[in-house]
A and B are shown apart, each in its own frame.
Chain A
Amino acid sequence: MRPRAFGRPYAEEVLQPVKAGYVSVTLIVALLLNLLPLSGWVLMLRPDFIALVLLYWGLEHPRKVGFFPAFLLGLAMDVAHGSLLGQHALAYTGLMFAAIALHRRVPMFGVRQQVLHILGILFLAQLTVLAVRLATGSDFPGWWYFLPSASGAILWPFARHMLTVRLRPRSDREEI
């Protein structure tokens, strides 16, 4: 068995350096996906795309995305929801912390095992929002409230692939 590089045993491929432009484009696309005018059960199932993309950058490239973009996107979500200013900012800040703190551990696992980690982190982020809402006098909306965590975790392998694809080095042109 080949000796594994420290910290990243499964990162066998060498990726291109991440440009700040690419990071911001992915975050804006995630924001657009979150703003889609959905309703009914589709809305109930819709994963939090911003949380997923933030998790990807936090886990894979913890130096590229810090707390500030997470905080700003949280504020944007609060305004779009018309909810209390700061609840999503709080949730995304916590999520970013979890991602950066776990960035040496989670990539050690295969993609399928990562899903469980993602599920836990997304669940905690939703729990933060729920705690703020309960503290300000809302009722518990029901267990379906946590469905986006599950759908987000299920979507993780796909999202991870989509975000990594652009970072793979192009095939050598000299060979052709």
Chain B
Amino acid sequence: MEYSPPPFFRRGPSLGTRLISFFLLSLALLFADARFGYLDVLRRGVGVMLYPLQKLVELPGETASLVADLFVTQATLRSENDRLQRENFMNAIRLQDHDAIAAENARLRELLELQPRVERASMVAEILYAARDPFVKRIILDKGSTHGVQAGAPVVDAQGLIGQVRRVFPWVSEVTLVTDRDQAIPVQLVRNGRRAMVFGLGYDGALELRFMPINADIEAGDVLVTSGIDGIYPAGLPVATVTGIERNAAYPFARVTSVPAAGVGSHRQVMILDPGEALPDRPPADEVQQRPRRTRRGG
């Protein structure tokens, strides 16, 4: 199959040599990225070069939606306006309650000498596209480090938590969705305040609560919100609703499945929250008792 020209026609190294050198280069990149994460600079560089191409590719779709916007009928607009006015009215009532409760909460916290809750800065971002890798659940947003996005920031929509910023490029950022495999979020049951961990399963529309004992008080329909004890997600963001519990005495833990609360993968606009102040350092772990070392007697 492989042919080799006579030596006086030879141009460059042979096919096998070239294959092996590029293979080794790729493998070295894979190892450096997977094991050590050294390659963020390279990734950012390539990302910056790809950005204009991505914008170019988005152009037809954006133009089409612009043109479609021009031809919205008046009836649609009016019904939407009615709906928004109704929602606005309901929200205004809730907001009045909220103001009163927030004031009361601040007073109570002062009385109890708790730390005040911090208001987090937020930023609206638009989803550029979903990552095309079938193995991961990620989306790309149109805000990056030049807009002040930080890696690790939580991302929410109107219904609840969507995910967490994973990588930040100058103009775009990459968000790992809550449904991504092994994306873990500390949560709390609204009904009884029990804490738990929610893990993504790697496919749409399902999350799993792991390490729940069989006798845990949990029911289908329970709402899970972020507990806030990790210092990354603010407390109280809706994450998921429990759909099914399978209690099998053969296993130490119950199998609890739930559906995400937010419209993961169905929205255009999302909100990036500030990752917030770093929590105070953990108390140092107990020092391991060191055995007194036997000193060897010199002869």
Contact = CB atoms under 8 A, between A and B. Distances in A.
Nearest to A138: B135
5 contacts: A28-B53, A34-B132, A85-B30, A87-B26, A94-B23
Interface stretch (A9-17, A98-106, A112-120, A149-157): A98-106
Interface stretch (B39-47, B79-87, B183-191, B252-260): B39-47
B129 interface: yes
Contacts of B42: 75, 85
A3 interface: no
Interface of A: 28, 31-32, 34-39, 43-44, 63, 66-68, 70-71, 74-76, 79-87, 89-90, 93-94, 97, 100-102, 104-105, 132-133, 136, 138-139, 141, 145
A79 B15 contact: no
Contacts of B50: 35, 76, 79-80
B130 interface: yes
B57 A82 contact: no
Contacts of A87: 26, 30
Nearest to B46: A79
A26 to B, nearest CB: 15
Nearest to A91: B26
B54 interface: yes
A28 B46 CA distance: 14
Interface residues of B, number: 47
Nearest to B138: A82
Interface in B4-50: 11, 15, 18-19, 22-23, 25-30, 32-34, 39, 42-43, 46-47, 49-50
Interface in B36-95: 39, 42-43, 46-47, 49-50, 53-54, 56-58, 61
B131 interface: yes
What are the 9 A-B residue pairs with the smallest beta carbon separation, nearest first? A86-B29, A37-B129, A90-B26, A86-B30, A81-B133, A85-B33, A79-B46, A93-B22, A97-B19
A102 B11 CA distance: 19
B43 A37 contact: no
Interface in B131-175: 131-136, 138, 140, 166-167, 174
A83 B136 contact: yes
Given A67-B18, A67-B19, A79 B47 contact: yes
A145 B134 contact: yes
A86 B27 contact: yes
B134 A82 contact: no
A32 B43 CA distance: 18
Contact of B181 (A63, A139, A145): A139
B2 interface: yes
Given A37-B57, A82-B131, A97 B15 contact: yes
